[in-house]
Structure 1
Amino acid sequence: MRTLPPFPSMRSFLSWCDKTEQFQPVSEPVSIRQQMTAVHRNMLERKGPVLQFDQPVLCDGSAVDIPVVVNLFGTADRVASGLGITLNEVDDLGAFLAALRTPTPPDGLRDTLSRWPMLKAALATRPKIVKSAPVQQVVLEGSDVDLGSIPVQIHWPGDEGPLITWPVVVTRPFGTEKAEIETYNAGVYRAQVLEHERLIMRWLPHRGGAAHHRTWAQQGEKTPIAIVLGTDPATLLSAALPLPENVSELTFAGAINGMRPRMVAAKSVPLMVPAEAEIVLEGWVSPTETALEGPFGDHTGYYNKAERFPVMQVTAVTHRKHPLYLSTYTGRPPDEPAIIGEVFNRLALPTIRAQIPEIRDLWLPPAACSYRMAVASIDKRYPGQARRVMMALWGMLPQFSYTKILIIVDSDIDVRNWDDVAWALATRMDPSRDVMLLQDTPMDYLDFASPHPGLAGKMGIDATTKIDSETTRDWGEVMETAHEDAAFAADLIARLTPKVTT
């Protein structure tokens, strides 16, 4: 499955980025208050390398000796590399993931042998438990815990305070044991630094971490939690992938990485954590205590309002002897989440096709906050098919329940080409017939355009050629240059070009 070597740690990935000229250290002092974000955004928009700020400056003007790494997944190529493949191989990995979701019984010995890569990937998901780990070379507990010593950024002028933006938050449900890693959830949820030993966990009700917290809170118990800051790229990306609820992101990362993930017991909470990580914040989330989180700049390009979320008491900080702090920013695209979303779009396509076979291609425009809008092309065969596909997509994955505009086009339209899509809308869609509106459906509550928080409408636009009972008119014929004439023109122009250039 992999064509690149395994990256057991973030450092091994950074080393590979350096060897492939995708890594740039920054030696001059840069403030964690907005300056880093400005530099990061500028470099991301240039499709530039990973940046490592070697002299972070804290808000009080003092220096800290923990370098800050940003722009880790600032290009689609690096996202693919983090998965162990090239960008050209993303579609193959998507097919592999679709097969893992819905495997078919092997047909004889030859078929069984051809499935060996899947078997090997499944075996790789079994974690290897170690007794000592790089991430626990330094252990700070009790009064030694000081989150202010970590260069957590303040990204935007209107941000309330320091915000951890690239944490892999590890939890497990009540009633499980710490050795049952297959029950763990690892998700990327931002965390606001509240005090030297306290954080606010912003996890939304439908996310796995929040679901685990509810199981503990219902028993009146605090939730054990570990926040992993900087780990191997397979774990980082698995934590962001929309995996099925019964698949642990930590074990799935082993399949992606092609090797068993190394885990070690946390020092102060009953959890296992990635052994090769840079920093781990251990602690407990209160079943009852909450605090106002925000406002912070978000992926919508707006500041979200302050809301109450659960509070975490940090009981231990463990890290390497000379740790790195991984960070990013969220804002109006382009940002790293939008770029990761582009690759995940391609990864998800084979799974979507397995459920809705007539879909030929699907695009979630990054500028539309990655999932608010989608364009899908279909192999149209019968009247009403576009509307059926709309309903199937909205109900297929939780992410699509937040897609408020769906445009369905024919297979001759390039969904990634706005000129093509605009032409289909202008020539194959009638607003009075081809627009479907829904009311009171689930929506990302950060969508300020919706009339009620978490509840809004959806619009489906059928921009396909109308057939049979869908129209009473004769449909136009698309004009195309004959194949032989196009070939003649290309050959003639190729022979003329040198003379024109001269």
Structure 2
Amino acid sequence: MHRAVLENGGPVLRFDAPVQGDGGRATMPVVVNLFGTAERVAAGLGVTPEGIDDLGAFLAALRSPSPPDGLRDALSRWPMLKAALATRPKVLRRAPVQEVVAEGAEVDLGTLPVQTHWPGDAGPLITWPVVLTRPHGTAAGDAGRYNAGVYRAQVIGRDRVILRWLPHRGGAAHSRSWMQAGEAMPVAVVLGADPATLLSAALPLPETISELTFAGALAGAQPRLVPARTVPILVPAGAEIVIEGWVAPGETAPEGPFGDHTGYFNAAEPFPVMQVSAITHRRDPVYLSTYTGRPPDEPAIIGEVFNRLALPTIRAQVPEIRDVWLPPAACSYRMAVVSIDKRYPGQARRVMMALWGMLPQFSYTKLVVVVDTDIDLRSWDDIAWALATRMDPGRDLMLLEKTPMDYLDFASPEPGLAGKLGIDATTKIGAETTRDWGTVMRTDPADAAFAEALLGRIMPGSGQ
């Protein structure tokens, strides 16, 4: 039902009494499709769809400050956001998320309506968890050092959860610091976080910016946190549910298989186990869920918005790039089409290498197609024409081997390592060719205007 509504740009859905596997009814409502449209993703970021580009410019200024005039311009558009980023979270003594508390023997993850999404899934999977961790040696009150990440969380018992974080993610880095000290790591899994917090946890923010602080900035309010009941972690006071617990050094369990965003089931692999010490929630909580699968799904829609947010950061580092499109059907980041303002031979290859090394997510982009600015890079017809008329396989392919790749991509010959292909589909200039290049045919503008006017007279319903 969720997928059918999402594919039609439909509303957020709330299931008040979803049927459980045993035929009974869950007492906790389930909400899905929160980020089912780009407009709702933008609203979660605190902007209109038209404001996404300005927010992207601000993120670029945070990541790599531009010269003073440019930085002042970016900050002038977001004075409240700048102030909010400098504001420390407000720590409360009591909070709605702790109206009901279950500790110790009372803990039972079965009270949550966690879905088993696909036939063949290993079990119930929490799909929108904001996992909060901090590095060893930091104080619980130093929320600015926290990492907030969205990781898969598999329920394997009444009080046990597998947390799937890959080695390059912030949660894994924090886990290593606690393991090196030989101590269990405190963890809080936040369910039903406000949209700004959830999206901030997924954003590629600079390492110096706290996701929790940035979420408060997006929401235009000071972040409101409360100490967790059984672990030294601060948690969002307004969340629906929080799962508290500890990850002991070396304790792992096989996670998966699960249907993933690639449209395939991934293989089972060992990941850390969290021993749950408490579950807290509002008096009448709702459970926020989603599914992951072959696009379209909510992560793919979020990815389209994040594509626009990332463009100013990309252009700040590679100015000749005019636009970047990550086709949702290609699992978002697996393929990129880039348009450039081409000025010299070899420029397309330089752009490919710059893109692969720029942001962590582009290290998983295994195909980059570079085109000229006259190509509509969101049109497969235009891309096919550029490939067919401006690319020669013997000259315009750049192939790399044994580069980093998502473990979920089993097309790669080795887990975590794969090749990359760059295709130069730009017009060839200078030393790139020894032949005269063809001239693109274009209709005379006066003839086009005449045809439009005439078409409007003979076909009134044509929209002209």
Q: Which residue of 1 aligns with 2:458?
A: 496
Q: Return the match for 1:127 from 86, 89, 96.
A: 89
SS state of the match for residue 263, structure 1?
Answer: strand
Offset, 1:192: 0.6
Q: Which residue of 1 aligns with 2:392?
A: 430
Q: Residues 422-442 of structure 1, C-alpha deviation per residue, up to 9 Å, x if partnerless?
A: 000000000000001001111
Q: Which residue of 2 aligns with 1:29?
A: none
- Residues 260-269 or 56-65, more deviating: 56-65
Taking the aligned partners of 1:355 and 1:90, their CA distance within structure 2 comes to 19
Q: Return the match for 2:121 from 149, 159, 162.
A: 159
Q: Which residue of 2 aligns with 1:174?
A: 136
Check conservation: 1:360, 1:378, Cα contact below 8 A. Answer: yes
Amino acid in structure 1 at the alignment position of 2:218: I
Taking the aligned partners of 1:235 and 1:370, their CA distance within structure 2 comes to 22
Q: Which residue of 2 aligns with 1:14?
A: none
Q: Which residue of 2 aligns with 1:339?
A: 301
Q: Return the match for 2:379 from 417, 421, 428.
A: 417
SS state of the match for residue 412, structure 1?
Answer: coil
Taking the aligned partners of 1:420 and 1:236, their CA distance within structure 2 comes to 36
User: Where in structure 1 are there 5+ consecutive unaligned residues?
Assistant: 1-38
Find out whether 1:304 has 2:266 as its counterpart.
yes
Find out whether 1:355 has 2:317 as its counterpart.
yes
Q: Residues 361-390 of structure 1, C-alpha deviation per residue, up to 9 Å, x if partnerless?
A: 100001111111000000000000000000
Q: Return the match for 1:269 from 205, 217, 231.
A: 231
Q: Which residue of 2 aligns with 1:90?
A: 52
Check conservation: 1:100, 1:118, Cα contact below 8 A. Answer: no
Offset, 1:332: 0.6
Find out whether 1:454 has 2:416 as its counterpart.
yes
User: Where in structure 2 are there 5+ consecutive unaligned residues?
Assistant: none
Q: Which residue of 2 aligns with 1:59?
A: 21
Q: Which residue of 2 aligns with 1:32?
A: none
Taking the aligned partners of 2:414 and 2:348, their CA distance within structure 1 comes to 28
Find out whether 1:137 has 2:99 as its counterpart.
yes
Q: Return the match for 1:184 from 146, 155, 170.
A: 146
Check conservation: 2:321, 2:340, Cα contact below 8 A. Answer: yes
Check conservation: 2:2, 2:33, Cα contact below 8 A. Answer: yes
Offset, 1:105: 6.3
SS state of the match for residue 353, structure 1?
Answer: helix
Offset, 1:457: 0.5
Check conservation: 2:54, 2:77, Cα contact below 8 A. Answer: no
- Residues 249-258 or 279-288, more deviating: 249-258
SS state of the match for residue 243, structure 1?
Answer: coil
Offset, 1:112: 6.4
- Residues 486-495 or 201-210, more deviating: 486-495
Q: Residues 113-145 of structure 1, C-alpha deviation per residue, up to 9 Å, x if partnerless?
A: 984554431331321111111101111111111
Offset, 1:99: 2.0
Taking the aligned partners of 1:248 and 1:288, their CA distance within structure 2 comes to 28
Amino acid in structure 2 at the alignment position of 1:50: V
Taking the aligned partners of 2:74 and 2:127, their CA distance within structure 1 comes to 41
Q: Which residue of 2 aligns with 1:314?
A: 276
Check conservation: 1:409, 1:424, Cα contact below 8 A. Answer: yes
Find out whether 1:222 has 2:184 as its counterpart.
yes
Q: Which residue of 2 aligns with 1:471?
A: 433
Q: Which residue of 2 aligns with 1:69?
A: 31
Taking the aligned partners of 2:297 and 2:175, their CA distance within structure 1 comes to 29
Offset, 1:88: 2.3
Taking the aligned partners of 1:161 and 1:271, their CA distance within structure 2 comes to 28
Find out whether 1:407 has 2:369 as its counterpart.
yes
Find out whether 1:203 has 2:165 as its counterpart.
yes
SS state of the match for residue 377, structure 1?
Answer: strand
Amino acid in structure 1 at the alignment position of 2:83: L
Amino acid in structure 1 at the alignment position of 2:108: D
Q: Residues 144-193 of structure 1, C-alpha deviation per residue, up to 9 Å, x if partnerless?
A: 11000100000000001100010000000000001111100000001110
- Residues 313-322 or 490-499, more deviating: 490-499
Identical pairs, percent: 72
Q: Which residue of 2 aligns with 1:483?
A: 445
Check conservation: 1:160, 1:295, Cα contact below 8 A. Answer: yes
Check conservation: 2:128, 2:150, Cα contact below 8 A. Answer: yes
Find out whether 1:239 has 2:201 as its counterpart.
yes
Offset, 1:496: 2.3
Amino acid in structure 2 at the alignment position of 1:124: A
SS state of the match for residue 439, structure 1?
Answer: strand
Taking the aligned partners of 2:249 and 2:146, their CA distance within structure 1 comes to 19
Q: Which residue of 1 aligns with 2:333?
A: 371
Q: Structure 2 length normalisation: TM-score?
A: 0.96
SS state of the match for residue 169, structure 1?
Answer: strand
Q: Residues 400-425 of structure 1, C-alpha deviation per residue, up to 9 Å, x if partnerless?
A: 11000000000111111000000000
Q: Return the match for 1:80 from 23, 42, 50.
A: 42
Number of residue equivalences: 461
Find out whether 1:445 has 2:394 as its counterpart.
no
Offset, 1:246: 2.4
Offset, 1:56: 1.6
Q: Structure 1 length normalisation: TM-score?
A: 0.89
SS state of the match for residue 357, structure 2?
Answer: helix
Taking the aligned partners of 1:142 and 1:135, their CA distance within structure 2 comes to 18
SS state of the match for residue 479, structure 1?
Answer: coil
Q: Which residue of 1 aligns with 2:345?
A: 383
1:466–1:91 distance in 2 versus 1, CA, 3 Å? same
